[in-house]
Amino acid sequence: MTRAKVLLDRLRLPVIAAPMFLVSGPALVMAASRAGVLGTFPALNQRTTEGFADWLDEIRDGLSEGGEALPYGVNLIVHKTNPRVEADLRVCVDKRVPVIITSLGAVPDLVKAVHGYGGVVLHDVINLRHAQKSIEAGVDGLVLVSAGAGGHAGLASPFAFIAEVRAMFDGIIALAGAINTGRHVAAAIAAGADVAYMGTRFIATVESQAPEAYKQMILDSSMADIVYTPAVSGVNGNFMRASLERAGLDPNAPAPPMNMDKKEAKAWRDIWSAGHGVGGIKEVLPVAELVAELEAGFNEAAAALVARQGRAQAVARSES
Ligand SMILES: Cc1cc2nc3c(=O)[nH]c(=O)nc-3n(C[C@H](O)[C@H](O)[C@H](O)COP(=O)(O)O)c2cc1C
């Protein structure tokens, strides 16, 4: 079994609390990893590489209390407009961050550097071409960002996406896109994924850094309120209509060039991203309670599958 699979099997539930710009910080990461899922955050949520290194120390210390350190992950945006990527990677190597999640570019040298200290690399993809390129770069796992996901989502059906990627890759498959409940997590595993990758549901937690009004807008929104547009950051993403309207942004306006600079940060501060799952989110919960709920739903779904097959077998027996 690969190192990546062993790491996932140590989790109480096959769930990654996905990295979210301006939303995930040390409190959310530590609460998620302590609750038994994998907490992660984007390096860019700290304004400087020094601040990022401080967060890593805080997280590592917080997750090492009383025994073996719990795993966590960091997201690096590998793009020419992110001037920090090399310095942030050096810090990750120095601090031996257990899981690195890369977005945009899958770079063989980065994979080699992370494998050098025993770390695991997952890479975000929205289509098969990107999946193929990332496999060639040697990543341990792919995050299939499917239709309806928060952030820079794709348009692929999760069922079709998993099937085609599984046929060419036996590494880790993480599935993203509107996964909210334990039943959804079980569905992802039943469909062939190794782990569910959940963003939007974790915005509405006590530990997320999102402002209260953002959390409230999630509770108030439904799938019909999510707009897929490149107008905010130059590539297509899902955003809540009310926040687009409040900012006076026309979703049909031409896309600006992609740029991970201060302007982009300001856009994400004012215009709030969320996936199609918003309609199913009714409560802001502490992460520990959310994970307990996810586990109960997951176990219910597993029992329902076994019971369904038990009934079919009983009918077959009675008719033979
Ligand atoms: C507010 C927000 C910010 C996000 N920021 C990032 C980011 O900085 N880096 C990244 O790789 N993905 C980012 N994502 C995408 C998530 O990591 C994840 O793929 C997505 O939320 C999963 O879909 P779901 O929200 O439907 O669960 C973001 C998503 C949201 C909702």
202 lines ligand 1 (CB under 6 A): no
Identify whether the C-beta of residue 176 lies closer than 8 Å to the C-beta of residue 103.
Answer: no
Alpha-carbon span 281 to 114, nearest angstrom: 36
152 CA distance to ligand 1 middle (Å): 7
Q: Which string of DSSP letters, residue by residue, matches the chain?
A: --HHHHHHHTSSSSEEE---TTT--HHHHHHHHHHTSEEEEEGGGSSSHHHHHHHHHHHHHHHHTTSSPPPEEEEEE-STT-TTHHHHHHHHHHHT-SEEEEES---HHHHHHHHHTT-EEEEEESSHHHHHHHHHTT-SEEEEE-BT-SBS-B---HHHHHHHHHHH--SEEEEESS--SHHHHHHHHHTT-SEEEE-HHHHTBTTS-S-HHHHHHHHH--GGGEEEESTTTSS-EEEEHHHHHHTT--TTSPPPPP--SHHHHHHHHHS-B--GGGGG----B-HHHHHHHHHHHHHHHHHHHHHHHHHHHHHHHHH-
- pLDDT score, position 105: 85
Alpha-carbon span 77 to 305, nearest angstrom: 39
Q: Give the number of the atom of ligand 1 that is nearest the alpha carbon of residue 276.
A: 26
160 CA distance to ligand 1 middle (Å): 21
264 lines ligand 1 (CB under 6 A): no
- pLDDT score, position 185: 98
Tens-level pLDDT at each residue, the chain (320 residues) = 788 899 999 999 999 999 999 999 999 999 999 999 999 999 999 999 999 999 999 999 999 976 778 999 999 999 888 999 999 999 999 999 999 999 998 789 999 999 999 999 999 999 999 999 999 999 999 999 999 999 999 999 999 999 999 999 999 999 999 999 999 999 999 999 999 999 999 999 999 999 999 999 999 999 999 999 999 988 999 999 999 999 988 877 777 766 666 667 788 999 999 999 999 999 999 999 999 999 999 999 999 999 999 999 999 999 98
- pLDDT score, position 260: 60
Is it true that domain 3-212+275-319 has CATH number 3.20.20.70?
Answer: yes
- pLDDT score, position 199: 98
Q: Give the number of the atom of ligand 1 that is nearest the alpha carbon of residue 124.
A: 11
- pLDDT score, position 80: 86
Alpha-carbon span 25 to 22, nearest angstrom: 8
